């Protein structure tokens, strides 16, 4: 069972040292996060898995590490300086600022319909496409086309401020460039203005020729890069899902351009290939395909450089729901043309791509096709993903609360009675919205029909449904459920071992038995030469197992009195909790076998 709410994962991350709030001792810095000892290991493992899949296991991709700060002209010709904009709007009363499209997405269908009618009355036109996947984008364009009075219409339509839950008093929407700027040199004048990169991709495009020539590559080949990017996001949030400073993993795959000869792979086929490759990367690392989906961007919302984009989305728990994890774009010949001084059929290509001439570049980013005997601009397929979003997905997927000890009959009975009383109170309540009430009652009845002792995590999830805590009895029920979960259940992260921050934990059975401690430390050192291994003697063995379960450590090794006589230790498996004796001299081959089979941690 994956996490039933994002809060469960956030709380585990903070409690166990995966992720800390940034600059906390000075009151924090909004929506910024630091990775602690476990978070840094998880992030490194995610990046390592991506790098292995993209670079090491293929023979057509090279790596690169370009600068965060590039010549400002890179961003001029990439289109970011003029066009990397988000539509913004403020509520004059709450002083909250929103991205207009995000604000509209949060409105009810009736409110959006009202806004459509008001715009139509104002413009005397009926051009807004109200098809579900086009409505928001159509409204954003229509509001900007109004030039003035858009704020007034948002106010009249009673567009609700998600922060206050009240209709807002809205300003005119305006465009806002998301790039952070700084100065490169001692004086803060316009000449020295530079940007922190908002994507790693441009560093790859401007190095296209270097990589192609020095590694003797010709399309199809790719260049992969991992590194920090910065965007002055208007609505960061949902923990590490959207932040202003983040890390990206991007790969630009350069392919021959159309027209294609019979049997040659087309750009659409390469695009589909990369969508599948990337989808499989997640499922191979343990993400259930049921919670993943592919979403093709409608033409109207494509980025300025894209011919087609498919997002891989994940169904996060709670209100976040399906959200973008990764985007795979067909960037055509946009970028290499944009950064070239001249390409074949220069004027025609720039007109087609709506690109200005580029007198500043000293290079033509083309390759010479020996067969066609001509210079050609490659097309680009780009899988692009952050590091934080896959981290969050792997954590949500791996999170489980499992029953370890059967509940005593009296406790189970008490929990059943309190659940029944709570549901009765929900049914009678006049405080709840009809939809919320139905959702709570329907789910609650399903749980009441189950063996309650085995369904306490689900009862916890029930109490997280919208409106559930408005009922007085919820507090009593929650108090009991939390207590019973604490004593009878364990929290476990069933991470694939390749992602686990720690692979093996070694414990001495007695921390004041010198011989046992010395041997345990020796065992740790011999394993640490191969895998991230920790030593811990800060609790009783049962407690130490639970702690390692909670952070996803696949194996624990306990050194005891028998170890001193027999030279064997107990190896305990995280997922099954099974234990076996293994000879100390056999531990390295034992774990080598375990850690060579990628999926073994998912067998339970």
| Smallest gap from residue 240 Cβ to ligand GAP (A) | 7
* CB-based burial label for 467 (10 Å; 0-12, 13-18, 19+): middle
Q: Which is nearer to ligand GAP, 233 or 369 (CB)?
A: 233
| Smallest gap from residue 198 Cβ to ligand GAP (A) | 7
| Smallest gap from residue 364 Cβ to ligand GAP (A) | 23
Tokens 């414990």 belong to residue: 507
Q: Which is nearer to ligand GAP, 4 or 310 (CB)?
A: 310
Residues in Cβ contact with 191 at an 8 Å cutoff, skipping those fewer than 6 apart: 185
Q: Which is nearer to ligand GAP, 83 or 435 (CB)?
A: 83
Q: Which is nearer to ligand GAP, 243 or 358 (CB)?
A: 243
At 67, phi and psi to the nearest 5? -70, 160
Q: Which is nearer to ligand GAP, 90 or 250 (CB)?
A: 250
- 174-177 and 181-183 strand pairing: unpaired
| Smallest gap from residue 125 Cβ to ligand GAP (A) | 32
Q: Which is nearer to ligand GAP, 388 or 557 (CB)?
A: 388
| Smallest gap from residue 238 Cβ to ligand GAP (A) | 10
| Smallest gap from residue 124 Cβ to ligand GAP (A) | 37
Residues near ligand GAP, by CB under 6 A: 199, 201, 231, 233, 242-243, 246, 248, 250, 324, 326-327, 382, 384-386, 388-389
Please name which of 294, 321, 290 lies closest in space to residue 310, comparing C-alpha atoms.
Answer: 294
CA atoms within 13 Å, Cβ hemisphere of 432: 22
Q: Which residue is at the shortest CB distance from ligand GAP? A: 386
Contact 71, 197 (CB under 8 A): no
Q: Which is nearer to ligand GAP, 311 or 536 (CB)?
A: 311
Mark 188-220 as b/e (b = at least 16 C-beta within 10 Å). Answer: eeeeeebbbbbbbbbbbbbbbbebbeeeebebb
| Smallest gap from residue 195 Cβ to ligand GAP (A) | 14
Contact 330, 271 (CB under 8 A): yes
At 134, phi and psi to the nearest 5? -115, -15
Cα dihedral angle (125, 127, 133, 136), rounded to 10 degrees?
-50
Q: Which is nearer to ligand GAP, 118 or 179 (CB)?
A: 179
Mark 304-313 as b/e (b = at least 16 C-beta within 10 Å). Answer: ebbbbbbbbb
The two three-digit tokens of residue 487, written as one number:
């004593």
- Residue 98 belongs to what H/E stretch? strand 97-99
Q: Which is nearer to ligand GAP, 248 or 330 (CB)?
A: 248
| Smallest gap from residue 53 Cβ to ligand GAP (A) | 16
The two three-digit tokens of residue 277, written as one number:
């490759």
How far apart are alpha carbons 566 and 582 in whole angstroms? 10
| Smallest gap from residue 379 Cβ to ligand GAP (A) | 15
| Smallest gap from residue 62 Cβ to ligand GAP (A) | 18
| Smallest gap from residue 78 Cβ to ligand GAP (A) | 10
Q: Which is nearer to ligand GAP, 64 or 384 (CB)?
A: 384
Q: Which is nearer to ligand GAP, 286 or 386 (CB)?
A: 386
How far apart are alpha carbons 177 and 589 in whole angstroms? 55
Q: Which is nearer to ligand GAP, 305 or 555 (CB)?
A: 305
- 166-167 and 160-161 strand pairing: antiparallel
How far apart are alpha carbons 472 and 426 in whole angstroms? 9
| Smallest gap from residue 385 Cβ to ligand GAP (A) | 4
* CB-based burial label for 601 (10 Å; 0-12, 13-18, 19+): buried
Q: Which is nearer to ligand GAP, 388 or 419 (CB)?
A: 388
DSSP string, 423-490: HHHHHH-SSS-HHHHHHHHHHHHHHHTS-GGG-HHHHHHHTTSTTGGGSTHHHHHHHHHHHHHHHHEE
| Smallest gap from residue 50 Cβ to ligand GAP (A) | 12
Please name which of 465, 460, 493, 461 lies closest in space to residue 477, comparing C-alpha atoms.
Answer: 460
How far apart are alpha carbons 393 and 281 in whole angstroms? 13
């Amino acid at each position: 069972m994956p996490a039933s709410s994002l809060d469960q994962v956030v709380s585990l991350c903070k409690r166990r040292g995966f992720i800390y709030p940034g600059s906390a001792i000075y009151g924090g810095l909004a929506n910024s996060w630091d990775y602690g000892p476990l978070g840094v290991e998880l992030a490194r493992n995610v990046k390592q898995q991506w790098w292995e899949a993209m670079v090491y296991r293929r023979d057509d991709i090279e790596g690169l590490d370009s600068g965060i700060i590039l010549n400002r002209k890179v961003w001029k010709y990439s289109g970011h300086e003029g066009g990397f904009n988000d539509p913004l709007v403020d509520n004059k009363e709450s002083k909250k600022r929103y991205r207009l499209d995000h604000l509209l997405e949060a409105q009810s269908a009736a409110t959006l319909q009202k806004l459509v009618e008001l715009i139509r009355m104002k413009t005397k036109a009926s051009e807004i496409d109200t098809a579900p996947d086009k409505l928001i984008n159509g409204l954003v364009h229509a509001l900007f086309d109004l030039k003035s009075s858009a704020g007034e219409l948002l106010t009249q339509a009673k567009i609700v401020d998600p922060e206050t839950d009240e209709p807002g008093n809205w300003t005119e929407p305006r465009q806002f460039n998301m790039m952070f700027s700084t100065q490169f040199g001692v004086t803060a004048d316009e000449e020295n203005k530079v940007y922190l990169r908002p994507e790693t991709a441009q560093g790859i495009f401007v190095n296209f020729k270097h990589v192609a020539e020095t590694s003797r590559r010709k399309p199809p080949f790719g260049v992969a890069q991992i590194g920090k990017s910065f965007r002055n996001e208007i609505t960061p949030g949902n923990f590490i899902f959207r932040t202003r400073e983040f890390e990206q993993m991007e790969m630009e795959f350069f392919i021959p351009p159309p027209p294609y000869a019979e049997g040659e792979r087309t750009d659409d086929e390469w695009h589909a290939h990369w969508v599948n490759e990337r989808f499989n990367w997640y499922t191979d690392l343990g993400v259930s395909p049921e919670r993943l989906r592919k979403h093709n961007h409608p033409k109207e919302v494509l980025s300025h450089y894209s011919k087609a984009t498919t997002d891989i989305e994940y169904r996060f728990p709670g209100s976040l729901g399906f959200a973008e994890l990764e985007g795979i774009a067909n960037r055509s010949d946009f970028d290499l043309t944009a950064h070239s001084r001249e390409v074949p059929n220069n004027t025609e290509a720039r007109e087609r791509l709506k690109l200005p001439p580029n007198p500043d570049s000293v290079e033509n980013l083309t390759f010479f096709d020996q067969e066609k005997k001509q210079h050609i601009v490659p097309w680009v397929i780009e899988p692009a993903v952050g590091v934080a979003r896959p981290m969050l997905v792997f954590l949500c997927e791996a999170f489980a609360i499992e029953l370890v000890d059967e509940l005593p009959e009296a406790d189970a009975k008490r929990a059943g009675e309190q659940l029944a009383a709570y549901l009765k109170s929900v049914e009678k309540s006049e405080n709840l919205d009809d939809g919320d009430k139905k959702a709570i009652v329907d789910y609650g009845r399903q749980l009441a029909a189950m063996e309650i002792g085995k369904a306490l995590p689900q009862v916890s999830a029930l109490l997280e449904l919208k409106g559930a805590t408005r009922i007085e009895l919820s507090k009593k029920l929650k108090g009991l459920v939390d207590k019973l979960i604490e004593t009878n259940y364990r929290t476990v992260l069933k991470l694939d071992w390749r992602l686990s921050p720690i692979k093996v934990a070694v414990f001495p059975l007695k921390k004041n038995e010198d011989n046992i401690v010395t041997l345990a430390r020796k065992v740790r050192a011999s394993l640490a030469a191969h895998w991230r291994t920790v030593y811990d003697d800060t609790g009783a063995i049962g407690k130490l197992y639970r702690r390692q379960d909670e952070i996803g450590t696949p194996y624990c090794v306990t050194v005891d009195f028998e170890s001193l006589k027999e030279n064997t230790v107990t190896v305990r498996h995280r997922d099954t909790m099974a234990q076996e004796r293994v000879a100390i001299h056999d531990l390295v081959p034992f774990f080598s076998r375990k850690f060579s089979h990628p999926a073994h941690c998912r067998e339970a």
